[in-house]
């Protein structure tokens, strides 16, 4: 089941919880749910998105807002993995490009550790190894999730996209189930679900609009 804004949100997929009690969207009835999807090896996630999510958690945790962090992986699988997520949760230590960028901007404590603690539950997206069969149905399903008006494009454009997606799907070491179920375009990404379990927003990048959207949902 793919996620569609305005309809009931499907559950996200988690292989391991490294912090907090296991939960999911269908277990958070009567709560507004903000899911922050990030990669361990993603500087922007730690410089902007996660601090914003922490601020929302601290400000609205007593008002029926749940914040959940899901670490995914669609690249750099040697760094975006469960071991590094556990290390992050237990010690605050970051790795790879995240470490380099935050260090350059003076945003790390000694030992390559974050100056802040992530206070909400953290889980690892469920990663599966593709079976090697890349058929036309899978390719087109992926394309329509990313480009809803694909059919209106030129034949040259469509052929280029199909070949690009085919090559991408064949080269992937793993498929991240939450990332694909919600048709995310990268990290950081935010998934927002209202009190009735309806998917209200899926956005890519640090938009800075999370708090205003949550305030609107709280007033409904």
Residue that has been written with the tokens 């669609």 in this structure? 74
The model's pTM: 0.82
Give the whole-angstrom CA distance, residue 192 versus residue 159: 34
> Do 32 and 211 form a contact (C-beta atoms < 8 A)?
no
Structural domains of the chain, count: 2
The per-residue pLDDT for 109 is: 96
- Same-domain pairing of 100 and 166: no
Over range 9-13, report the average pLDDT.
96
Answer yes or no: are the C-beta atoms of 89 and 72 closer than 8 Å. no
Tokens describing residue 77? 């699988």
Instruction: Give the per-residue pLDDT at 131.
Output: 65
Quick one: 112 and 138 in the same domain? no
Mean pLDDT (whole number) for 55-60 = 97
Q: Is residue 202 within 8 Å of 184, Cβ to Cβ?
A: yes
Domain-embedded: residue 1: no
- Do 149 and 43 reside in the same domain of the chain? no
Question: What average pLDDT score do residues 59-85 get?
Answer: 96
Q: Which domain holds residue 75?
A: 14-126+182-218
Q: List pLDDT tens digits, range 145-182.
A: 889 899 999 999 999 999 888 877 766 768 899 999 99
């Amino acid at each position: 089941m793919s996620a569609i804004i305005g309809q009931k949100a499907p559950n996200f997929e988690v292989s391991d919880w490294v912090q907090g009690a296991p939960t999911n969207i269908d277990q958070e009835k009567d709560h507004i749910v903000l899911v922050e999807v990030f990669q361990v090896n993603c500087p922007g996630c730690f410089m902007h998105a996660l601090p914003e999510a922490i601020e929302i958690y601290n400000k609205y945790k007593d008002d029926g807002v749940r914040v959940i962090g899901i670490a995914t992986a669609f690249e750099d699988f040697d760094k975006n993995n469960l071991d590094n997520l556990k290390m992050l949760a237990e010690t605050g230590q970051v790795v790879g490009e995240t470490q380099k960028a935050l260090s350059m901007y003076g945003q790390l404590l000694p030992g390559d550790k974050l100056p802040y603690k992530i206070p909400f539950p953290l889980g690892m997206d469920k990663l599966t190894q593709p079976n090697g069969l890349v058929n036309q149905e899978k390719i087109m399903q992926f394309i329509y999730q990313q480009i809803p008006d694909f059919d209106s494009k030129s034949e040259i454009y469509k052929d280029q996209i199909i070949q690009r997606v085919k090559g991408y799907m064949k080269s992937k070491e793993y498929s991240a189930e939450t990332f694909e179920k919600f048709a995310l375009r990268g990290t950081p990404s935010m998934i927002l679900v209202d009190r009735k379990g309806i998917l209200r927003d899926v956005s890519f990048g640090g938009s800075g609009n999370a708090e205003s959207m949550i305030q609107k949902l709280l007033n409904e």
